[in-house]
Amino acid sequence: MKPVISVIIPAYNEAESIKQTFLSLKNQKTNVPYEIIVCDNNSTDSTVKIAKKYADKVVIEKRQGSMFARNTATKHSKGKYLVHTDADTLFPENFIEEVYKIFESEKYVAFTCGEWDLYDGNDLSMKFKTWLWASLFSIFMRVQSMKNVVTVTGWCCCTPKKIFNKVKGFSETTDYSEDLLYSYKVDYLGDFKYFPEIKVRSSTRRFEDGMGKFIAHYAKRNAKISDIIYFLLRKKYAKPYKIK
């Protein structure tokens, strides 16, 4: 049966975490046909071996960068709807069923789920860091929702394939925050939505070197002040935001 939803996962040396992601996707309670496509991005560990065991399709992208991997995997997808995620994300068993209902409503050009609900990191320091970041993220997303704009997240970027094709996918011109830039590109096409009740969960590994380095990781990767200001304060626009 042809898949209705394609779940896209870029992967670079994800042997330690990607199996959990696969299992959460394989254990879905739904009759909606879906496929899992992994794009390996030059892994040197056993990522590909694991992916071939669980994914419906494994493709290779030699250009380093998650934006290249996401776009390449999407070219091989067959679903009407796309869910772009990360290789350390866990999904509730009703995820496919719930996002399918949202997709079929045809109300949104893109939507995202979860509240940065983190599933690992047990020491007290890590718990505090993740609680602080999750709280800030939740506030930010809710404020954006009030303005009818939402920044789709890399761990749960849901969009119809026709929208993805219309904006020509993720920007490949800058090496940072492809999810943020994708949000800019589809901003003018219609409504966004944030669904915090669908508890997509992510890993704390981004905080292992401290919150400062986590923020610096993104800030140093060609981020422009104009992009950041637009990201925080933008409203709906009648024409596309130009990605340089």
Q: What is the mean pLDDT of residues 53-60?
A: 98
Residue with tokens 């879905």: 28
pLDDT over 50 at 244, yes or no: no
Q: What is the mean pLDDT of residues 11-26?
A: 95
- Can you tell me whether residue 40 is helix, strand or coil? strand
pLDDT digits (tens, 9 = 90+) for 143-154: 777 776 777 888
Among the listed ranges 21-25, 118-122, 213-217, which one has the minimum average pLDDT value? Answer: 213-217
pLDDT over 60 at 217, yes or no: no
Among the listed ranges 80-84, 108-112, 188-192, 220-224, which one has the minimum average pLDDT value? Answer: 220-224
pLDDT over 50 at 207, yes or no: yes
Give residue 91's pLDDT. Answer: 94
pLDDT over 80 at 3, yes or no: yes
Nearest to 38 by CA among 78, 83, 92, 87: 87
Q: Report CA dihedral (129, 117, 105, 32) to the nearest 10 degrees.
A: 150
Alpha-carbon distance of 231 to 225, in angstroms, equals 10
Q: What is the mean pLDDT of residues 215-240?
A: 57
Beta-carbon contacts of 138 under 8 Å, excluding residues fewer than 6 positions away, are 115, 116, 196
Alpha-carbon distance of 237 to 244, in angstroms, equals 17
pLDDT over 70 at 221, yes or no: no
Among the listed ranges 37-41, 171-175, 235-239, which one has the minimum average pLDDT value? Answer: 235-239
Give residue 194's identity as a one-letter amino acid code: Y
Q: Of all residues in the chain, what percent carry a pLDDT higher than 70?
A: 77
Position 9 confidence tier, pLDDT thresholds 50, 70, 90: very high
Please indicate whether residue 199 or residue 96 has the higher confidence score (pLDDT).
Answer: 96
pLDDT digits (tens, 9 = 90+) for 62-89: 999 999 999 999 999 999 999 999 999 9
Q: Determine contact, residues 180/108, Cβ cutoff 8 Å.
A: no
Give residue 52's pLDDT. Answer: 97
Give residue 18's identity as a one-letter amino acid code: I
Give residue 93's pLDDT. Answer: 96
Alpha-carbon distance of 105 to 87, in angstroms, equals 28
Full strand arrangement of the beta sheet holding 34-40: 57-60, 34-40, 5-11, 81-84, 157-160, 108-113, 191-195
pLDDT over 50 at 112, yes or no: yes
pLDDT over 80 at 225, yes or no: no
Say how far residue 80 (Cα) sits from the centre of its chain: 17
- Can you tell me whether residue 11 is helix, strand or coil? strand
pLDDT digits (tens, 9 = 90+) for 118-174: 666 667 777 777 777 778 878 878 777 777 677 788 889 999 999 999 999 998 876
Domains (range + CATH), the chain: 5-233 (3.90.550.10)
